[in-house]
Structure 1
C-alpha cells in the first residue's frame, strides 16, 4: 500500500511539473516570437506577428493545476512549512496524536473542497461552460485538474493521519519549521 500511495503522489508531482514546463514552453514561444519580430523590424523587414493566443489565461489554468497537483507530494515529502510552536513542546506521543488530529481536520476540509470542485466541474461539463478569453477553454478541464489535485491531497492527509496515529515519526522528521 505504501508503494501505491508514494507512486500516486509522485505521479501527481510529475503532472504538476509537466504543467510548469508547459507554461515555460508557451512563454518562451511568445518571448522568442517578440524577439524575432524585433530583429526583423530592426532589419527593415516585416514582423511575423506571431503570438500565443490566450497565453495569460492558459498559463493561469496551468499554474492552478500545477499548484493543486503538487500538494500531495510536497506533503508526503515533508517540505510544507509547518508552524510547530506548540507541538515541539509536547512529548512525542501527544505530539503525534495532535499531528494526526490536525491531519484529519485538514483531510475533512480538503474532502469538502474536492467535492465542491468536482461538482462544479461536472456542472461546467454539463452546461458546456467555456472561458471568456481568446481561446475558449472548456472550464471543466482546469476545474477537473484542481479537483484531482485536491483528491490526491485528501488521500495524502488521511495517510499522514494514519502515520501519526500509528506512531510513525515521518511527519515531524522534515519540512521547514517556524
Structure 2
C-alpha cells in the first residue's frame, strides 16, 4: 500500500510538472509568434499571425491544475508551511497525537473541499458550462482536475494521520529531518 500511495503522489507531481512545462511552451509559442510578426513588419512582409487564442484562460486553467495536482506530493515532501512551535514543545507521545489529530482535521477539510469541488464539476458537466474566451473550454475539465488534486491531498492527509497514530514517521517529517540534517552539515562544513 505504501508503494502505491507514493507512486500516486509522485505521479501527480509529474503531471503538475508537465502542466507547468505546457504553460511555458504555450507562452513561448505566443512570444515567438509576436516576434515573427514584428520581424515580418520590419521587412515589409505580411505578418504570419501566429497566436494562441484564449492563452490567458489556458494558462490559468493549467496553472490551477498544476497547483492542485501538486498538493499531495508537496505535503509528502514537507513543502507546505506548518507551525511547529507547539509540537516541538510537547513530549513525543502528545506531539504525535496532536499531529495525528491536526492531520485528521485537515483531511476532513480537504474531503469537504473535494466534495464541494466535485459537485461544482458535476454541475458544469450537467449544464455544459464553458469558459467565456475565444476557445470555449468545458469548465468540468479544470474543475475535475482540481477535484482530483484535492482528493489526493485528502488521501495524503489521512495517510499522515494514520502513520502518526500507528507510531510511524510521516513522509513530511522524514523530509524535514533530511533537510535540517543537510542544512546543519552544510553550515558545519562552511564554518
Deviations for 1:114-142, whole angstroms, at most 9, x for unmatched residues?
A: 01111111111011110111110000000
Deviations for 1:9-53, whole angstroms, at most 9, x for unmatched residues?
A: 111111111111110110000001111111111222121122100
**Take 1:15 and 1:173, find their aligned partners in 2: how far apart are those partners?**
24
Deviation at 1:81, TM superposition (A): 2.2
Cα RMSD for the two superposed structures: 1.4
Runs of 4+ in 1 over 3 A off after TM superposition: 173-177
TM-score (norm 1): 0.95
1:65 aligns with 2:57: no
Q: Report what 1:131 is aligned to.
A: 131
Q: Report what 2:108 is aligned to.
A: 108
Report the more deviating stretch, 41-50 or 23-32.
Answer: 41-50
Q: Report what 2:184 is aligned to.
A: none
Deviation at 1:91, TM superposition (A): 1.2
Aligned length: 177
Gaps of 5+ in 2: 181-191
**Take 1:161 and 1:49, find their aligned partners in 2: how far apart are those partners?**
54
Q: Which has the higher contact order (CA 8 A, sep 6+)?
A: 1
Deviations for 1:72-93, whole angstroms, at most 9, x for unmatched residues?
A: 0111122222211111111111
Question: SS at 1:82's partner residue?
Answer: coil
Deviations for 1:56-108, whole angstroms, at most 9, x for unmatched residues?
A: 01100000000000000111122222211111111111111111111101000
**Take 2:91 and 2:135, find their aligned partners in 1: how far apart are those partners?**
56
**Take 1:152 and 1:53, find their aligned partners in 2: how far apart are those partners?**
32
TM-score (norm 2): 0.88
Q: Report what 2:173 is aligned to.
A: 172
Report the more deviating stretch, 80-89 or 163-172.
Answer: 163-172
Q: Report what 1:151 is aligned to.
A: 151
Deviation at 1:173, TM superposition (A): 3.3
**Take 1:135 and 1:57, find their aligned partners in 2: how far apart are those partners?**
9
Q: Report what 1:140 is aligned to.
A: 140
**Take 1:126 and 1:63, find their aligned partners in 2: how far apart are those partners?**
24
Q: 1:1-178, aligned counterparts within 5 Å? A: 1-170=1-170, 171-175=172-176
